[in-house]
């Protein structure tokens, strides 16, 4: 079970298990957390911490990493987590101070208080997208799952062993291929940076009227078009009086009777004879009369 850094650590008890002798010089003391009649390993999830050096190698080829609390002024959760770690140290020191020198695991460095972790081949690293990564670079922030495995006793000294189980870090972004967005505005920006005249200045210089240049700008999309005419059916003012423009409904069109139009060349010719007017029939009227005569035969 993993204890989140926001969880109240005072609800747990630190349990010291039986010592395990590894050699004449080194003895290991396992540590467990006890709560609700359950023993569990001391595994903690940290807040966002800074790693100034990334993964380092010791002289005996062991991997280590230092976690810095230098951002505690901006992040109160770091202060709370640092207080949790300090309480663990005080409990162990009170238990062994009569026989041993309990060495603190929080060290003062140029990057503020730092906690040193031991890495193994089983330690896993992830980026912010939860993808596995091979290593952890320096000068980045991340979240870490750490494990207080136990204590090492060597002669009269006691040392804490903190292991790094997993890390999720904010990795730098690297683009491995050409990723520029090339667009039509790029050439315009280049022209502006070089103070080159655009095509509208050239049009004015060769004598094109300003109205034509303005119209060309609208067509090119450099000037927004004029607003649309007012929508019918909305109130309009005439001589400071408001009038409602009626809307045409579909029912109004049902009573409309359309008249058959006349051809362009079918104008009626009126002939004046002996003060009487004679109106000759149109071609359409003659065709209608002939069709009636054929039907009566």
DSSP per residue, 36-95? TTEEEEEEEE--SEEESS-SEE-TTS-EEEEEE-GGGGT-HHHHHHHHHHHHHHHHHHHH
CA distance to 37, 266, 280, 281, per residue, from 286 (Å) = 116, 12, 10, 7
Residue 76: inside a domain: yes
- Residue 64 · residue 119 · CB < 8 Å: yes
pLDDT for 275 beyond 60? no
- The SS3 assignment for 31 reads strand
pLDDT for 138 beyond 60? yes
Residue 274: inside a domain: no
Residue 268: inside a domain: no
How does residue 143 score in pLDDT terms, banded at 50, 70 and 90? very high
As for how many domains the chain has, the answer is 1
- Average pLDDT for residues 132-147, to the nearest whole number? 96
Residue 265: inside a domain: no
Compute the distance between CA of residue 115 and CA of residue 162 in angstroms, rounded to an integer.
9
Our CA angle for 166, 170, 171, nearest 5°, is: 100
Structural domain boundaries, residue 125: 2-169
What's the pLDDT at 164? 98
pLDDT for 35 beyond 70? yes
Residue 41: inside a domain: yes
Q: Higher confidence at residue 152 or residue 189?
A: 152
pLDDT for 273 beyond 90? no
For 167-194, the pLDDT digits (tens) are 999 988 888 899 888 876 665 665 555 5
What are the structure tokens assigned to 65, written together? Answer: 């990493």
What's the pLDDT at 122? 96
Residue 85: inside a domain: yes
What's the pLDDT at 231? 56
- Residue 124 · residue 21 · CB < 8 Å: no
What's the pLDDT at 98? 95
What are the structure tokens assigned to 199, written together? Answer: 């095509």
pLDDT for 241 beyond 60? no
For 42-54, the pLDDT digits (tens) are 999 999 999 999 9
Residue 253: inside a domain: no
What's the pLDDT at 194? 55
How does residue 230 score in pLDDT terms, banded at 50, 70 and 90? low
The mean predicted confidence, pLDDT, of the chain is: 83
Residue 221: inside a domain: no
């Amino acid at each position: 079970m993993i204890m989140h850094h926001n969880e109240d650590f005072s609800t747990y008890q630190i349990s010291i298990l039986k010592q395990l002798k590894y050699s004449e010089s080194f003895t290991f003391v396992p540590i467990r957390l006890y709560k609700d009649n359950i023993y569990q390993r001391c595994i903690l999830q940290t807040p966002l911490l800074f790693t100034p050096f990334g993964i380092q190698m010791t002289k005996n080829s062991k991997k280590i990493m230092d976690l810095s609390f230098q951002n505690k002024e901006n992040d109160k959760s770091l202060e709370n987590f640092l207080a949790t770690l300090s309480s663990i140290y005080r409990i162990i020191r009170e238990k062994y101070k009569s026989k041993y020198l309990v060495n603190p695991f929080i060290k003062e460095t140029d990057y503020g208080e730092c906690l040193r972790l031991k890495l193994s081949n089983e330690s896993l690293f992830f980026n912010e997208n939860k993808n596995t990564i091979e290593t952890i670079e320096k000068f980045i922030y991340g979240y870490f799952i750490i494990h207080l495995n136990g204590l090492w006793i060597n002669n009269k000294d006691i040392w804490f062993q903190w292991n790094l189980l997993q890390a999720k870090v904010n990795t730098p972004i690297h683009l491995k291929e050409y990723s520029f967005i090339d667009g039509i505005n790029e050439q315009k920006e280049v022209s502006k940076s070089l103070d080159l005249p655009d095509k509208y200045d050239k049009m004015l210089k060769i004598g094109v009227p300003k109205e034509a240049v303005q119209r060309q700008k609208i067509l090119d999309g450099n000037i927004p078009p004029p607003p649309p005419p007012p929508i019918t059916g909305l109130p309009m003012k005439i001589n400071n009086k408001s009038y409602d423009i009626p809307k045409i409904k579909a029912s109004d069109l049902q009573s409309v009777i359309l008249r058959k139009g006349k051809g362009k060349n079918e104008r009626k010719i009126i002939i004046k004879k002996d003060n009487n007017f004679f109106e000759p029939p149109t071609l359409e009227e003659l065709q209608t009369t002939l069709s009636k005569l054929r039907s009566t035969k």
